[in-house]
Amino acid sequence: MSHSILIVGGGPAGLAAAEALASIGRHSILVEKEERLGGAPILSGYAKLVPSGEWAKDAIGGMVRRVEGNPLVSVRAGRRVDAFEGEPGNFNVRLSDGSSTTVGAAVLCTGFTHFDSVNKPEWGFGTYPDVVTTTQVEQMISSGKGVRCPSDGRKPRRVAILLCVGSRDRQIGREWCSKICCTVSCNIAMEIREELPDCHVYIYYMDIRTFGLYETNYYWKSQEEFKVKYIKARIAEVTSNGQKLIVKGEDTLVKRPITIPFDMVVHAVGMDPNVDNRTIASVFGVSLQPQGFIGKANTYATFGETSRPGIFVAGSATGPETIDDSIAQGKAAAIAAYALVNGAKAAAQAA
Amino acid sequence: MSHSILIVGGGPAGLAAAEALASIGRHSILVEKEERLGGAPILSGYAKLVPSGEWAKDAIGGMVRRVEGNPLVSVRAGRRVDAFEGEPGNFNVRLSDGSSTTVGAAVLCTGFTHFDSVNKPEWGFGTYPDVVTTTQVEQMISSGKGVRCPSDGRKPRRVAILLCVGSRDRQIGREWCSKICCTVSCNIAMEIREELPDCHVYIYYMDIRTFGLYETNYYWKSQEEFKVKYIKARIAEVTSNGQKLIVKGEDTLVKRPITIPFDMVVHAVGMDPNVDNRTIASVFGVSLQPQGFIGKANTYATFGETSRPGIFVAGSATGPETIDDSIAQGKAAAIAAYALVNGAKAAAQAA
Note whether B208 contacts A: Cβ–Cβ < 8 A: yes
Q: Tell me which residues of chain A, numbers 119 to 148, contact chain B at a CB-CB cutoff of 8 Å.
A: none
User: Are A331 and B328 an interchain contact pair (Cβ–Cβ within 8 Å)?
Assistant: yes
Task: Express each pLDDT in B266-317 by its tens digit.
Answer: 999 999 999 999 999 999 999 999 999 999 999 999 999 999 999 999 999 9
Across the range B146-166, mean pLDDT stands at: 98
Higher-pLDDT residue of A322 and A2 is: A322
Which of the residue ranges A5-9, B2-6, B225-229 would you say has the lowest mean pLDDT?
Answer: B2-6
DSSP tag of A172:
G
Helix (H, G, I), strand (E, B) or coil at A105: strand
Sign of the CA dihedral B138, B188, B133, B263? Answer: negative
Cα–Cα distance between A335 and B145 in angstroms, integer?
Answer: 40
CB interface of B with A, residues 57-86, below 8 Å: 59-60, 62-63, 66
Buried b (16+ CB within 10 A) or exposed e, A257-269: ebebebbbbbbbb
Instruction: For an interface test with B, give the residue of A331, A338, A341 to mutate (most B CBs within 10 A).
Output: A331
User: Is the confidence at residue B146, as pLDDT, over 90?
Assistant: yes
Confidence of residue B254 (pLDDT cuts 50, 70, 90): confident
| Mean pLDDT of the residues in chain A | 96
A275 part of contact set with chain B, CB < 8 Å: no
Hey, is the C-beta of B335 within 8 angstroms of any chain A C-beta?
yes
Contact B209 A214 (CB under 8 A): no
Q: Is B251 on the interface with A (CB under 8 A)?
A: no
Residue of A nearest to B207 (CA): A207
Asked if this assembly's ipTM is beyond 0.85, the reply is yes
Contact status of B311 with chain A (Cβ, < 8 Å): no
Q: Which of A52, A207, A303 sits opposite B208 (nearest CB)?
A: A207
pLDDT tens digit sequence for A32-87: 999 999 999 999 999 999 999 999 999 999 999 999 999 999 999 999 999 999 99
- On whether any CB of chain B is under 8 Å from the CB of A256, the answer is no
Cα B9 to Cα B80: distance, rounded to the nearest angstrom: 9
> How many A-B residue pairs are in contact by the CB < 8 A criterion?
162
Nearest CA distance, B152 vs chain A (angstrom): 37
How far A165 CA lies from chain B's nearest CA (Å)?
Answer: 14
Kindly list the distances between the CA atom of residue A75 and the CA atoms of A31, A70, A146, B37, in Å, as whole numbers in the listed order: 6, 9, 34, 41
For an interface test with B, which of A26, A42, A204, A211 has the most B Cβ atoms less than 10 Å from its Cβ? A211
A177 vs B338: CB contact, 8 Å cut-off? Answer: no
**What is d(CA A159, CA A140) in angstroms, rounded to the nearest whole number?**
14
Q: Please check whether residue A97 touches B, CB under 8 A.
A: no
- Span B58-102, pLDDT tens digits: 999 999 999 999 999 999 999 999 999 999 999 999 999 999 999
Chain B 286-305, CB below 8 Å of chain A: which residues?
289, 291, 293, 298-301, 303
Measuring CA to CA, which residue among B76, B180, B225 is closest to residue A212?
B180
Sequence-distant contacts of B125-132: CB under 8 A, at least 24 apart: B125/B267, B128/B238, B128/B240, B128/B245, B128/B265, B130/B156, B130/B245, B130/B263, B130/B264, B130/B265, B131/B238, B131/B245, B131/B264, B131/B265, B131/B266, B131/B267, B132/B264, B132/B265, B132/B266, B132/B267
Q: Which of B215, B301, B321 sits opposite A62 (nearest CB)?
A: B301
For B128-143, what is each residue's pLDDT tens digit? 999 999 999 999 999 9
Nearest to B216 among A175, A300, A331 (CB): A175
Residue B319 C-alpha, separation from nearest chain A C-alpha, in angstroms: 6
Mean per-residue pLDDT for A322-339?
98
Report the residue of B55, B67, B217, B331 to disrupt the A interface, i.e. the one with the largest count of A CBs within 10 Å. B331
- Which residues from B are below 8 Å from A60, CB to CB? 300
> What pLDDT, on a 0 to 100 scale, did the predictor assign at position A255?
83
| Cα dihedral value A328, A284, A307, A13, nearest 10 | 10
Query: Do the chains contact at B63 and A300, CB–CB below 8 Å?
Result: yes
Q: Is the peptide bond before B51 cis (omega within 30 degrees of 0)?
A: yes
The per-residue pLDDT for B350 is: 63
Contacts of B194 (CB under 8 A, 6+ apart): B226
* pLDDT higher than 80, residue B103: yes
Is A342 close to B209, i.e. CB distance below 8 A? Answer: no
Residues of B in contact with A66 (CB under 8 A): 301
**What letter represents residue A252's amino acid?**
T
Residue bearing the bigger pLDDT, A148 or A350: A148
- Chain B (23-62) residues lying within 8 Å, Cβ to Cβ, of chain A: 23-25, 52, 54, 59-60, 62
pLDDT of residue B349: 66
| pLDDT higher than 90, residue B347 | no
- Tell me the nearest-neighbour CA distance from B157 into chain A, angstroms: 29
Say if B230 is an interface residue toward chain A (CB within 8 Å): no
